[in-house]
Structure 1
Amino acid sequence: MWIQEVGEYSKKLLDKGTGEDVVTYRRVQGGEGTKSSQQRIQVNGDGTVTIPKKDADLNISIDNGEHSNYFKNEVRGGNADIVEFDVPKWFDDFLKENTIPQSGYNSNPLNQGGTAPKLVDPTKPGNSFEVPAPWVEWIEEYAKNAQIKK
């Protein structure tokens, strides 16, 4: 049931180029001092993304910006950026169908050998996910319309 609750926060959009239903994902990168994070997602000139460290878990926000704005303003600081990109709605549905809570993740048989996405930061605004390989590779493959928001 909690997956349905998470799904309600997804922003349903229509990709202008393909007419395909898309969902916007976000990641906060950079920041100040010890509160900064790695620049994990690189935005390419054609709106695609490159994610060099595909074997490291990637934290993303999937909502209407609540979590990424909170995280940028309250945690990372003024020099952080928000990377936004769209993925197909079917991909978002697939990710959420396979997501399990971070609490008890390692002992949960649904963690699929450590490859299931995790729902993290449940006490903070919005919805934050941590995705392992192969999800990182799939995000890189399907992400489009990427941009950096200051």
Structure 2
Amino acid sequence: MALRACGFIVFRRLANCLPPQDNIEYLLLQTSYGQHHWTPPKGHVDPGEDDLTTALRETKEEAGLDAEDLQVVEGFLKELHYEVRGRPKEVLYWLAELKDPGTQVILSNEHQNYRWARLEDACTLAQYKEMQDTLREAHRHLKTQQDKK
């Protein structure tokens, strides 16, 4: 059976950037274990917990961001599949905007650093193709929404 984890691709919009899609930065956390990879906040589903609740709990635990700090973006849910130490893992990511771009990130002991990064810098940090593709897909989703306004 696959390990299951859930999380958020958290982004913030900076003021006074033109064009508007250039004002988006994504939150990545650097693990304090293993190869110190960079990833959005996520974690394993607890018994009896639904996926969205897991994503909210893990984002609070890992980045100090409460549900009230986030606005979930409609129409985006990405499922990634890969292996970790020979076991299949699936991760669900929702997309969420940080309502107040100045909200402070507070790391858990699972992470040693965080960074807000524009799309290409975030993809460079993320390293893994599946995560890079997911970030780019999220960015396209936000651009499509922007274009509809």
Q: Normalised by the shorter chain, which TM-score bucket? A: 0.3 to 0.5
TM-score of the two chains, using structure 2 as the length reference: 0.33
Between Structure 1 and Structure 2, which shows a larger proportion of strand residues? 2
TM-score of the two chains, using structure 1 as the length reference: 0.33
